Structure 1
């Protein structure tokens, strides 16, 4: 009888819960999937492909929430230190490393493996191919190749001691070709053939930078040429692949030497060009070579003593084309190639534009506040937004379009959008929402508001006629006149727990950086330019850019990543917030238009460790030392 009463009570509770879903949020403490990884969990990384990669005491495991078992486990190398796992930006690849990986490794074995986390495949393992030592292991995009250098224990005794390079196709996991860097068994003075930088993969041949000089080999392994340019760290070619530039960091690590090489290995400049600092941006242009180098001082690039140098060299001779380089007086935060010159913004404040022949195009440098968060095209001109001011300026003259810049209290977070229905710019700084008429520049305070926990909005978007603002713990909707539709506040679970969340969100806004780094990783970008000024309010289209970028690279995993970003984001109509619920800490899904909680998941943990895939709409939660739970938030 007692058992029957218990079953009746449970049935009543289920009916009550089902009947109340329209009034209350759904509770989903029971996970959709549970994964017992069998070893202590040390780290969780949410990848751009939506797969959670978990580092355990045994190795790595990958979790796709749609699958009931891990998509892969990699325990071949045992427990991995964080620095032994590299996630290649904008790709489905993880490079796993063990050992020193250099010519100084001696007889100690070095290992490398490449994992495709989307398909759950180990596509390269140095043990399987008898590599005893790996010096370098570079993923090259968009060609989708892996270039490995080291000592391979295959062949004769002499061959087993001779440095070698191999190129693998990451799409098929097969070896394309390999060759020796020195002649096996060569008699004479020992030479250092260690690889010093990222090889440059061209259509017809490969250039390997070594401590002995540059070595060019055909794809069949035939040596085409060598030269004496030693210790180059990276190379780049123009679109024709007929002009190649090599960058060598000087022995003190503070300056860079630039070399120009022809397709036959001949040095095309009489002397190399030395620039102060480390080259951070390099553009091959019809007018010459635009170079930005950063001279750091104090505590890094943003320190007061840090300064960037902008130089324009002749591609033909390497000579400096400018009699007088523009004074930056700070770190170059923004750098864009325009039709008539170079536009740049300085972190400490200031925007200027210089022609390709070194003439200042703005009547005078534009003064701005510190930390230029945005520079973008608008129909009225260039909009800039800093931590303390905003304005639109004429891109031809540098003159202000708005009579005076909008100034506000210095804020670490400034949100903005364009209200196309009313042709006005909306900027939220601190606790004020400003409206600026796009044509007249007239400024009005549309609304004053207060976000709890001293937060400031970091997101703003137009949702129909309403303005949506949000931060970590606050959400707000205002009508077109600035009146509040709703304000939702969800108390943070406490600083110690909240700090676990940092870096755990894959948001659409981060995809611009993803696309950029994927092409510039290793500077092996074959002249592809990322220094183009974008249009304002196009940042919501980053998902399409990412989808197109992935689609342009051959391979099933890139196709899967492309499809992921073709779908609508789970955050398009909702926001996920970690907060204190009545029964403990949990995650809530809140509708952006109504402000109503659509779902809440009680985590029953005062300091939860979790990741949210805001694009796919999944929660990954570390339930205990060995177990991951996943929840579908859609």
Structure 2
């Protein structure tokens, strides 16, 4: 009996040792002592972590043992003073711009290349006393600055000026004054009112006095009296320019057309209600989406909260459609097809209009609210909302499936295509449906109930099996719906920490950033591709390749780094990282998607840890204390 007890004690001891080893806090690969309190951590699209501290900004590259840059020139910066330029390696930091004394008090700007760690523009060192506008222009890779520069004689030091810098070489290309220094007469306001448009042969500056066109050496080309332009876009030839002016009350937008010689090409400008959110120049005319908002007003005179779609003549600005399609909500999806315009409404509904204003669908398609997916599939247009899903004929709008797949309104809906069995798989509110791609026959394949009332937000095929996951749960099903495993990792708490993004969500976020950069229209011609092309279903790799190719085309070392990053396989391809409650405290676990087993644990010993996970590079950044960040290699 005594030997048995000794054996039990020995066995318990061995188990305790194993548990202790399993829960041991892993040593970080790098420790970064930033020397000041950390207020915020931001993981950039280029893979560099930016920490905002009480002293300024710090950039961390996980491949380096020390920060690659520290920017303390302006001191502590609020989130509003730190602008991460989408789809670029640039941060524009500001000070004084949002002050109530802006225009009187000194304003400062700096541009940081967070990949190289270099400050490539600093208004202080370049003797700018006031900065009015500071715009990064892509894909030309230029910086356009306007303001007052403390150089030259006393008149030049008081005259508004514009300067164009090359971001790659960090050198000034050219600069010019917006008014003649020392001009005698009534003072004129030459403040810059919007984003300049950089073309191959000229730079157009929107000012309170009108549009000013300059050569790339700063020589005068022409002036146009159209005032208050906010942003511009040109056609592919750069001979026709469209300027957008938001009215003083902010409820309407006026569209102007100007020639490359400064001539007004429309007899009258074209007014649309609301703010223009999408604009595309097409051979058949101009597609315009504008969003009207009541601003929360209950007045009967307030505009309704909805989008309008217009199709204008490029030659005159007149509306080509006798009757605009009714939206009765926000345009959530907007795609230009060969035969017309396809759009989906956030409140539900899909329709398609020909370029001459005729309805191409037999009748508007009714759908549930929040259209999460609209994409090309081999069988037609697949749409997935929070309530239903279907495939429809893109020519007629007829349902390919005899009736929509309906399910309980779900906070998240995951889906994928099973090419081996030629079927679509959809997970909504715990139900897994299999839809035959040819017949549209629906089969309830399985039920998967996740803990903490989570629902699957990721679904993918893995070697013929079906993988499902959420923040704290993951499961693998056989092709017949049978359970291979289901694992749950308890969350440390219901709030107070940042949950890891799924790979699909991360890619979608990247796609949105790219679309935002392209759709904004400013600084761009339509020759750089369209954000209004309908994507193919489940084609995330294609989207990443497009992003990588765009970065590579700019021909700059930092953009080349970003291009290689987007071509890389995500570290999350075979694993999911979950923050959970371990025996000895809160930690991050690396879970194998094929087995559901933990391959790696990192004990963080913090009830509400602040952290970021780079899913592409496989790096965990953890705020160890107020001034220190640890980085862990999750791929080892």
Range of TM-score over shorter length: over 0.9
Equivalent in 142, 145, 149 of residue 148 of structure 1:
145
Match of 1:409 in 2: 408
Match of 2:563 in 1: 562
Aligned: 1:464 with 2:490: no
Q: CA deviation at 1:501?
A: 4.1
Aligned: 1:47 with 2:48: no
Aligned: 1:383 with 2:389: no
Write the distance in 1 (CA, Å) between the matches of 2:424 and 2:199. Answer: 46
Equivalent in 211, 214, 231 of residue 214 of structure 1:
211
Name the CA shift for 1:410/1:68 in 2 (closer, same or farther; >3 Å): same
Write the distance in 2 (CA, Å) between the matches of 1:339 and 1:573. Answer: 39
Aligned: 1:246 with 2:243: yes
Secondary structure of the corresponding residue to residue 421 of structure 2: coil
Name the CA shift for 1:129/1:36 in 2 (closer, same or farther; >3 Å): same
Aligned: 1:265 with 2:262: yes
Aligned: 1:111 with 2:111: no
Match of 1:160 in 2: 157
Name the CA shift for 1:26/1:493 in 2 (closer, same or farther; >3 Å): closer
Q: CA deviation at 1:101?
A: 7.0
Aligned: 1:330 with 2:329: yes
Match of 2:127 in 1: 130
Equivalent in 65, 88, 92 of residue 91 of structure 1:
88
Match of 2:320 in 1: 321
Q: Does the CA-based 8 Å contact 2:23-2:583 persist in structure 1?
A: no
Secondary structure of the corresponding residue to residue 416 of structure 1: strand
| TM-score w.r.t. length of structure 1 | 0.94
Q: CA deviation at 1:504?
A: 11
Q: Does the CA-based 8 Å contact 1:507-1:615 persist in structure 2?
A: no
Write the distance in 1 (CA, Å) between the matches of 2:247 and 2:208. Answer: 13
Write the distance in 2 (CA, Å) between the matches of 1:598 and 1:406. Answer: 38
Name the CA shift for 1:489/1:379 in 2 (closer, same or farther; >3 Å): same
Write the distance in 2 (CA, Å) between the matches of 1:231 and 1:137. Answer: 17
Q: CA deviation at 1:27?
A: 4.8
Secondary structure of the corresponding residue to residue 65 of structure 1: coil
Q: Does the CA-based 8 Å contact 2:151-2:157 persist in structure 1?
A: yes
Write the distance in 2 (CA, Å) between the matches of 1:417 and 1:437. Answer: 13
Match of 1:576 in 2: 577
After TM superposition, the structure 1 = structure 2 runs for residues 63-102 of structure 1, keeping only pairs within 5 Å, are 63-100=60-97
Aligned: 1:443 with 2:465: no
Structure 1 unmatched ranges of 5 or more: 1-15
Q: CA deviation at 1:521?
A: 4.5
Q: Which moved more, 1:518-527 or 1:78-87?
A: 518-527
Q: CA deviation at 1:554?
A: 2.0
Write the distance in 2 (CA, Å) between the matches of 1:559 and 1:401. Answer: 43
Write the distance in 2 (CA, Å) between the matches of 1:233 and 1:102. Answer: 21
Match of 2:430 in 1: 431
| TM-score w.r.t. length of structure 2 | 0.94
Q: CA deviation at 1:543?
A: 2.7
Name the CA shift for 1:104/1:20 in 2 (closer, same or farther; >3 Å): closer
Secondary structure of the corresponding residue to residue 66 of structure 2: coil
Secondary structure of the corresponding residue to residue 83 of structure 1: helix
* Superposed CA offset, 1:438-489 (max 9, x none): 0000000010111001101000000011000000000100000000100010
Equivalent in 180, 190, 193 of residue 187 of structure 2:
190
Query: How many residue pairs are counted as aligned between the two chains?
Result: 614
Structure 2 unmatched ranges of 5 or more: 1-13
Q: Which moved more, 1:335-344 or 1:103-112?
A: 103-112
Q: Does the CA-based 8 Å contact 2:471-2:499 persist in structure 1?
A: no
Name the CA shift for 1:304/1:274 in 2 (closer, same or farther; >3 Å): closer
Q: CA deviation at 1:26?
A: 8.1
- The Cα RMSD (Å) is 2.1
Write the distance in 1 (CA, Å) between the matches of 2:542 and 2:577. Answer: 21
Write the distance in 2 (CA, Å) between the matches of 1:175 and 1:564. Answer: 30
